[in-house]
Amino acid sequence: MPLPKKFYNRDAAEVAKSLLGCLVVKKSEGLVAKIVETEAYYGLSDPASRARKGAKIMWGEPGRAFIYMVHGNWLFNIITMPKGEASGILIRAVEPIRGIEIMEKRRKVKNLYALTSGPGKFTKAFGIDKSYNGIKVYRKDSPIYIEKGKEDDFEIVESHRIGVKEDLPIPLRFYIKGNKFVSRF
DNA sequence: AGGAAGATCTACT
DNA sequence: GTAGATCTTCCTA
């Protein structure tokens, strides 16, 4: 059961925290991974967000995937908040559950922990590119969707964002404490 | 048409 | 830990 659309219709930081422990599913290849690290991005008031540069990003509809290219890497975002806010969540790292062989083949690395421990690594392992831009992650018939994971017991750690030129003074990065697949500690 | 920038990755010291 | 590579989009001439 994918998470409902209204799940994303909240504050970005709230959604980011709720998303930890949830599963990303790519139906066509049977890939499943657990989300272990996220970052929240706000549109207009956020100096790090590119939403302020171009208006193309303002999809307005929560629960849609937004694919963004930087440094030759695709980054996978999910739009949150009601229309016009242009804010969203970046998936920074996941833990592979199913379809590991496919990911390994695509990534060409032998270290399991290097498979998906980074935004660009995750998209490459899942074979995500621009053609996935705008898909609805709350619909089961989408090529990729998010569903609720088991009620795992874990602690959420908050910290500053990574690699951002100009960060906001508040912590907007969230990850599962002690998880080996987090990109940085 | 050209160039700069950017939420990264990898390899090497 | 740090430098260099790499690629697409957007901005300016």
Pick out residues 16-75 of chain A having their CB under 7 A from any atom of nucleic acid strand C: 53-54, 56, 69, 71-72
For chain A, give the mean pLDDT: 87
Protein CA A183 to sugar C1' C9 (Å): 26
**Interval A62-87: pLDDT, tens:** 899 988 888 999 999 999 987 667 78
Distance CA A172, CA A142 (A): 28
Set out the domains of chain A in order of their start, with CATH numbers.
Answer: 5-176 (3.10.300.10)
Mean pLDDT, residues A134-141 taken together = 94
Rg (CA), chain A: 15
Lowest mean pLDDT among A24-33, A54-63, A100-109, A166-175: A54-63
| pTM reported for the whole predicted model | 0.92
| Contact flag, residue A43 CB and nucleic strand B, below 7 A | no
Quick one: pLDDT at residue A45?
57
What is the percent of chain A with per-residue pLDDT over 90, rounded to a whole number?
Answer: 65
| Contact flag, residue A72 CB and nucleic strand B, below 7 A | yes
Whose C1' is closest to the CA of A129: which nucleotide? C8
Mean pLDDT, residues A163-171 taken together = 83
Closest CA to A62 of A149, A159, A134, A155: A134
Protein CA A146 to sugar C1' C7 (Å): 28
Contacts of A115 by beta carbon, 8 Å cutoff, 6+ apart: A96, A100, A103, A104, A107, A109, A121, A125, A181
| Contact flag, residue A70 CB and nucleic strand B, below 7 A | yes
| Contact flag, residue A56 CB and nucleic strand B, below 7 A | no
User: How many Cβ atoms are within 10 Å of A43's Cβ, its own excluded?
Assistant: 19
Whose C1' is closest to the CA of A90: which nucleotide? B7
Higher pLDDT, A173 or A55: A173
Whose C1' is closest to the CA of A41: which nucleotide? B7
Query: For strand B, which nucleotides have at least one atom less than 7 Å from a protein CB?
Result: 6-10
Higher pLDDT, A53 or A82: A82
